[in-house]
Amino acid sequence: MLVMETIKVLMTMRFSDEQIARVRAVSPRLVVVQKSVKEGADFNDTSTLFEGDEEIFYGMIPPRDLSRAPRLRWVQLHSAGINHLHDHPIWQSDVRVTTASGIHAVPIGEFAIALMLALARKIPLMTRLQARADWPRGKWNLFLGTELRGKTLGVVGYGSIGREVARIAKHGFAMRVLALTRGGDPRDRGYHEPGVGDPDGALPDAWFTRAQLFDLLTQSDFVLIATPLTDETRGMIGERELRAMKPTAFLVNIARGGIVDERALVRALKEHWIAGAALDVFEREPLPADNELWTLDNVIIAPHIAAATPHYDDRAVELFCENLRRYLRGDALLNVVDIPRGY
């Protein structure tokens, strides 16, 4: 009788029993152990949770002491970004690392559209007046906004999130879509849910390279920052780029704060180089109380919560199960981190 060798999987996120059962159901070969980190401690080192026979790890932080995980072969991250692991010894090992890229497309895509609508229709001003029970005079002129329909959306970073925003913008608001990508392949090679985004790259009206960033900015009514934070993209939206935008344009950043020069952005908002901005990410988080962004009336500040819906973990488990099936078959995994590229 053939005895199948078991594979131990250590999971450190706080998944439900039903979600863990879905992982176990992938194969009888899997021995799935959940050792949840304490609430609020998702970024702790997980070295002490390893017993030495784990082959697969799911969580936010792989063990820093890799000697405690001699059989570790694959790490599936609970996040799309890897910036929190910039100095982690995992990069000097032969352990494969995959991300959760693709599961954020729907929640963050919808959130980005909500921010665009809020900026266009001056919703923040409405909420400030509501807090004061103030029904303003001259309300028509005060709230004279713009429409998304027919406007141009420039997507800086045409990954899964940017593609879903493009899909909603194109089909929901008849917007013109401009897409900027690092490479020349229009297809989405990572994980994507059925019916979500633009996996074939069929939606953009025009494509741009990094060298053509200014061309995209000058044409866009809304600029969505959706690119990973890497050495190449850090500070890519600075004073020159903000001055290149239309004075009627809006900037939306749901990627990483370090991509936008905050000092330049504050000046752009105060001096009205651009009409406004909506930000879910910042150079320092939490955003310091003395940061000028808090005081401006043409900016929306969200506390890095664009992905916060009840469906995050279900989507994460679905991606993990698909990658587990691929791992067991010996197929290529989805969302493998390319270390030189930084994502």
Q: 306: which DSSP letter?
A: T
Which of 147, 232, 271, 285 is flagged as catalytic?
Answer: 285
For residues 252 and 119, what is the distance between their CA atoms, to the nearest angstrom?
Answer: 9
**88 an active-site residue?**
no
Order the strands of the 299-301 sheet from edge to edge: 206-208, 176-180, 152-156, 222-225, 250-253, 276-279, 299-301
Structure tokens at 173: 């608001």
176 sits in which H/E element: strand 176-180
Which of 64, 267, 304, 326 is flagged as catalytic?
Answer: 304
* Residue 110: partners with Cβ closer than 8 Å, 6 or more residues away: 164, 168
**55 an active-site residue?**
no
Residue 318 CA, chain-centre distance (Å), reads 18
**96 an active-site residue?**
no
For residues 110 and 107, what is the distance between their CA atoms, to the nearest angstrom?
Answer: 5
Helical pair 17-24 and 312-329, crossing angle rounded to 10 deg? 20
Which of 163, 256, 283, 315 is flagged as catalytic?
Answer: 256
For residues 179 and 174, what is the distance between their CA atoms, to the nearest angstrom?
Answer: 15
**Using omega within 30 degrees of 0 as the cis cutoff, is the peptide bond preceding 286 cis?**
yes
**Nearest residue to 242 via CA among 207, 277, 209:** 277
Q: Give the residue numbers marked as catalytic.
A: 256, 285, 304
